[in-house]
Chain A
């Protein structure tokens, strides 16, 4: 009954909970992304924010209240986009905003929550850097931006070239960049955007590229120049005919950006580990081999997978420790970037190794070191050796060409170049650092004290009631006491010689005792009735006869209550013995 009732009551909420869980699982197929159209803007400019929800049909406008450092914003409306990729339809809803940060520094859009039919989606935080405002006196201007001015030799420097145009820009050539002292790196596709500043709208073309400094010192990044073509209106009346027959002309020009001087330093000598090979960044490294059970002469492939963020161009693998009986061959490498500039990604190194001795028990690795430019510290990790089981003679040819072998069934050893998690950007939950009351041993008792008191009070109440119930004489007990009193009265009345009252008491005592046995009211008991029913209950026949006689005597005494003291003593003795005999017939004694 309890289970059915519980199911009836809790079944529906449980169903809703299950539905919510299902929606949450379904929402895993949906996603939300926030994108700012530029990583660097100037103070007083606007930046475009797009909140893109994929895999859902209905997305309410996200709430941007509470974004720090936000001076103003405008909602530009929603946009829908549908595309089919590899036969699968991808549907996007994009909410667009124009935002203006309040001051210089980092402008961070925190994670936004969007409630959809597939559950709550969250975007990752995005940020842009707000730089000091530079006056834009010309209709076109070009500038070079880097995130900071201090870098290390060998560290990949991402930079942006931004072209501001307050004109009808028709065409632009890729910017030309002077990179004396740098090695040019990757380029990301150019981005087109717009911004509103000083009461005017500017088109902004952004080029993102990387360069790597090769020597220390004050190195100029740039200057840069860029050719462009703009359409300008001819001098004239500017009427319909001018517009129709070509009232404007295209003019070309070139705009220059001054060089940005960067301070390039060598990585610090202090703390530099022996064997440091120039890796700069934060990485995780994993080593795996193609197989561990092999025969002498068998080739195996050792693969190092380095994942993280940093300068992948200068990255070298940790290297295999020189071991007698282990022949290593030159390897290959490949890089899979996770961002357009190749600052984040995975670089894989593969190296062929041949075991030439059955005494080789493991492949050991040299320590891997990297310099973290953010914390300005060297991070090191020692990859644990991978044990080998080398048995038997040469089973086949040696390594041929050093190509990778099948890595499907490889035991994977994962070791990371670890570091602390980053700092908190906000103080977070506050509290008093004192021992919580709830941690004191007495707190649980105090907390549930009212419950215990309630239970105790109930128990005491029940116990008292039971005790009182026990203490209270019941009707039968009262009757017994009445019989006993009357028997005592008999002795007293006998001594007093009060025959009338003696026989009345005698009759009453017998009636009461018979009533106790028969369970009937005492007043309803007569001599005949008592004799008949007590005989049925097992009273001896001789006692029944004596009972009849005693009742008869008591009956007769009501009309002639004179009797000798010996007679009174006789009847008292008879009554006492009969009462005792009847007591044995009482149920429950």
Chain B
């Protein structure tokens, strides 16, 4: 029975590996095919293929980045921004990605984040969390150990101070990254030519401020079919839900 079970598990593992390898190879072929179309100037086709690859629950930063490029070249800067900003969630330190975001923001005349945030952008928020929590736990372990014995207390005192300082710095960085995440835009205007933000969630409401295509906004309130959004300068209003793309 035990041997049968082992063989069964082995066969299942083999099938899983073959499926994974096969799907990986198919994915690589599709990626190369989409790239080729982009290089040939078939941006709409390339965008469609990259979109299909980005439809799954697990996506790669490279696919989203290339999708952004294809959409931008295809004249859809708002949707391109949405793809790049999604890619930024996965690979915030990617220099090409940051360059394209900067290029697009400059081209679209939309808000550009303060440069000092770029240092925090080198790591994902989960990376900052891991570093900060790890340092805090290490500090706590050292503190606990130092409390067990007078000799240990003397021996570990310097480590407690240094690791505690490092933990404090990392926690501060994590806190700043969190603060930024809670305040950074979570949606992008994708409507061609921009969209007027209105005082109320009805088409008849007067225009409060026009929002450009590709403008990064934060959703503050919801109403069926409408979002109340604010740009980084705290200007905003209600826009139809289909005119913007929510970011993950």
Residues from chain B with a CB closer than 8 A to the CB of A437 are 126
> Contact at A435–B248, with CB atoms within 8 Å?
yes
Closest 7 CB pairs of A and B: A5-B158, A438-B129, A428-B62, A427-B60, A424-B62, A421-B96, A433-B248
Given contacts A2-B158, A421-B100, contact A427 B89 (CB under 8 A): no
> Contact at B60–A428, with CB atoms within 8 Å?
yes
B50-90: contact bitstring with A at CB < 8 Å (1 yes, 0 no)? 00010001111111011001001100000000000010011
CB distance from A124 to the nearest CB of B (A): 16
> Contact at A433–B89, with CB atoms within 8 Å?
yes
Residues from chain A with a CB closer than 8 A to the CB of B248 are 433-435
CB distance from B186 to the nearest CB of A (A): 10
8 extra interface residue pairs, beta carbon distance < 8 Å, beyond A424-B61, A439-B181, A448-B136: A419-B103, A424-B96, A426-B31, A429-B60, A430-B60, A438-B129, A438-B130, A439-B182
Does B39 touch A at the CB level, under 8 Å?
A: yes
> Contact at A423–B66, with CB atoms within 8 Å?
yes
Q: B162 contacts which of A6, A419, A436 (Cβ < 8 Å)?
A: A6
Residues from chain B with a CB closer than 8 A to the CB of A435 are 248
Does A475 touch B at the CB level, under 8 Å?
A: no
27 A-B contact pairs sorted by A residue (CB < 8 Å):
A2-B157, A9-B159, A9-B162, A375-B41, A419-B103, A420-B69, A423-B66, A426-B31, A427-B60, A427-B61, A427-B63, A428-B65, A429-B62, A430-B59, A430-B60, A431-B60, A431-B90, A435-B248, A436-B129, A438-B126, A439-B178, A441-B178, A441-B182, A444-B174, A447-B129, A448-B133, A450-B137
Q: A443 contacts which of B41, B57, B94, B129 (Cβ < 8 Å)?
A: B129
> Contact at A454–B157, with CB atoms within 8 Å?
no
B198-212: contact bitstring with A at CB < 8 Å (1 yes, 0 no)? 000000000000000
Q: B62 contacts which of A3, A426, A447 (Cβ < 8 Å)?
A: A426
> Contact at A430–B58, with CB atoms within 8 Å?
yes
Residues from chain B with a CB closer than 8 A to the CB of A424 are 61-62, 65-66, 96
CB distance from A450 to the nearest CB of B (A): 7
Residues from chain A with a CB closer than 8 A to the CB of B140 are 450-451, 454
Number of chain A interface residues as a range: 35 or more
- The chain B residue sitting closest to A440, CB to CB, is B178
Q: Provide the bound-state CA to CA distance between A239 and B130, in Å.
A: 79
Does B2 touch A at the CB level, under 8 Å?
A: no
Q: In B120-154, which residues have CB < 8 Å from any A CB?
A: 124-126, 128-130, 132-133, 136-137, 140, 144
Q: In A365-387, which residues have CB < 8 Å from any B CB?
A: 374-377
Residues from chain B with a CB closer than 8 A to the CB of A2 are 157-158, 161
- The chain A residue sitting closest to B97, CB to CB, is A421
> Contact at A421–B99, with CB atoms within 8 Å?
yes
CB distance from A370 to the nearest CB of B (A): 16
Q: Provide the bound-state CA to CA distance between A450 and B53, in Å.
A: 41
Does A10 touch B at the CB level, under 8 Å?
A: yes
> Contact at B89–A420, with CB atoms within 8 Å?
no
Q: Provide the bound-state CA to CA distance between A353 and B92, in Å.
A: 47
Q: Provide the bound-state CA to CA distance between A2 and B153, in Å.
A: 12
Q: In A150-183, which residues have CB < 8 Å from any B CB?
A: none
Does A408 touch B at the CB level, under 8 Å?
A: no
> Contact at B91–A429, with CB atoms within 8 Å?
yes
Q: Provide the bound-state CA to CA distance between A213 and B34, in Å.
A: 30
CB distance from A177 to the nearest CB of B (A): 29
Does A12 touch B at the CB level, under 8 Å?
A: no
> Contact at B125–A439, with CB atoms within 8 Å?
yes
Does B23 touch A at the CB level, under 8 Å?
A: no
Does B38 touch A at the CB level, under 8 Å?
A: yes
Q: In A78-124, which residues have CB < 8 Å from any B CB?
A: none
> Contact at B91–A428, with CB atoms within 8 Å?
yes
CB distance from B10 to the nearest CB of A (A): 27
Q: What is the interface of chain B mostly: helix, strand, loop, or mixed?
A: helix
Does A266 touch B at the CB level, under 8 Å?
A: no
Number of interface residues, chain B, beta carbon within 8 A? 54
Q: Provide the bound-state CA to CA distance between A3 and B61, in Å.
A: 44
Q: In B9-59, which residues have CB < 8 Å from any A CB?
A: 27-28, 31, 35, 38-39, 41, 53, 57-59
Q: Provide the bound-state CA to CA distance between A318 and B180, in Å.
A: 43
Residues of A within 8 A of B (CB): 1-3, 5-6, 8-10, 374-377, 418-439, 441, 443-444, 447-448, 450-451, 454
Does B196 touch A at the CB level, under 8 Å?
A: no
Q: Provide the bound-state CA to CA distance between A424 and B100, in Å.
A: 12
> Contact at A436–B136, with CB atoms within 8 Å?
no
Residues from chain A with a CB closer than 8 A to the CB of B174 are 444
Given contacts A421-B96, A423-B66, A428-B61, contact A433 B90 (CB under 8 A): yes
Residues from chain B with a CB closer than 8 A to the CB of A377 are 41, 73
CB distance from A414 to the nearest CB of B (A): 14
> Contact at A420–B62, with CB atoms within 8 Å?
no
Q: Provide the bound-state CA to CA distance between A6 and B165, in Å.
A: 12
Given contacts A420-B72, A424-B65, A451-B140, contact A431 B157 (CB under 8 A): no
> Contact at A429–B90, with CB atoms within 8 Å?
yes
Residues from chain A with a CB closer than 8 A to the CB of B159 are 6, 9
Given contacts A418-B103, A421-B96, contact A433 B162 (CB under 8 A): no
Residues from chain B with a CB closer than 8 A to the CB of A432 are 57-59
Residues from chain A with a CB closer than 8 A to the CB of B232 are none
Residues from chain A with a CB closer than 8 A to the CB of B72 are 420
CB distance from A465 to the nearest CB of B (A): 15
Given contacts A448-B136, A450-B140, contact A423 B38 (CB under 8 A): yes
CB distance from B37 to the nearest CB of A (A): 11
> Contact at A454–B103, with CB atoms within 8 Å?
no
CB distance from B151 to the nearest CB of A (A): 14
Does B194 touch A at the CB level, under 8 Å?
A: no
CB distance from A265 to the nearest CB of B (A): 13
Q: Provide the bound-state CA to CA distance between A5 and B157, in Å.
A: 8
Residues from chain B with a CB closer than 8 A to the CB of A431 are 58-61, 89-90
- The chain B residue sitting closest to A3, CB to CB, is B158
- The chain A residue sitting closest to B89, CB to CB, is A433
CB distance from A110 to the nearest CB of B (A): 15
Q: Provide the bound-state CA to CA distance between A436 and B88, in Å.
A: 13
CB distance from A129 to the nearest CB of B (A): 14
> Contact at A427–B62, with CB atoms within 8 Å?
yes
> Contact at B158–A9, with CB atoms within 8 Å?
yes
Residues from chain A with a CB closer than 8 A to the CB of B94 are 428
> Contact at A420–B73, with CB atoms within 8 Å?
yes
CB distance from A408 to the nearest CB of B (A): 30
Residues from chain A with a CB closer than 8 A to the CB of B129 are 436, 438, 443-444, 447
Residues from chain B with a CB closer than 8 A to the CB of A422 are 96
Residues from chain A with a CB closer than 8 A to the CB of B35 are 423, 425
- Which of A6, A375, A429, A438 has the most CB atoms of chain B within a 10 A radius of its CB? A438
Q: Provide the bound-state CA to CA distance between A429 and B124, in Å.
A: 12
Q: Provide the bound-state CA to CA distance between A443 and B130, in Å.
A: 11
- The chain A residue sitting closest to B134, CB to CB, is A447
Residues from chain B with a CB closer than 8 A to the CB of A5 are 157-158
Q: Provide the bound-state CA to CA distance between A162 and B181, in Å.
A: 57
CB distance from B215 to the nearest CB of A (A): 19
Residues from chain B with a CB closer than 8 A to the CB of A454 are 140, 144
Q: B90 contacts which of A9, A423, A430, A448 (Cβ < 8 Å)?
A: A430
